[in-house]
Amino acid sequence: MSIIERISARGTVRPALNPRTLFALLLTAAALCGCARRYDITLTNGGRMENVRKPVRSKEGGDWTCTTASGQKLTISSSRVLSIVPHGEKQ
């Protein structure tokens, strides 16, 4: 079958996905959903910052930099940070 015949052919040209391939694609999509992790930061004064992107510690170790859900960049002194846990986990 030539390319022109394939383009102009009526109906489906490719066969439907078999169940194993479809299952593998769904499993891969489900595994990739966890890539965008959010974190909760607990401060020494009892305050909490929830749902921030992964905090990054400076090379000197003096402060943490993170981005809030609204896109605002924050820098926090490492002496003020009590704990950093993934969002949704119990402490």
Q: Match 């749902």 to its residue by tokens.
A: 51
| Residue-level pLDDT at 43 | 92
State whether 13 and 28 are in the same domain.
Answer: yes
Q: Are 48 and 42 in contact (CB under 8 A)?
A: yes
Statement to judge: residues 22 and 49 lie in one domain: no
pLDDT digits (tens, 9 = 90+) for 9-67: 666 556 667 888 888 888 888 777 765 678 889 999 999 888 888 889 998 888 999 98
- The answer to whether position 91 is within a domain reads no
Host domain of residue 11? 3-33
Helical residues (DSSP H) of the chain, grouped into ranges: 3-8, 19-32
pTM across the whole model: 0.56
80 and 60 in a common domain: yes
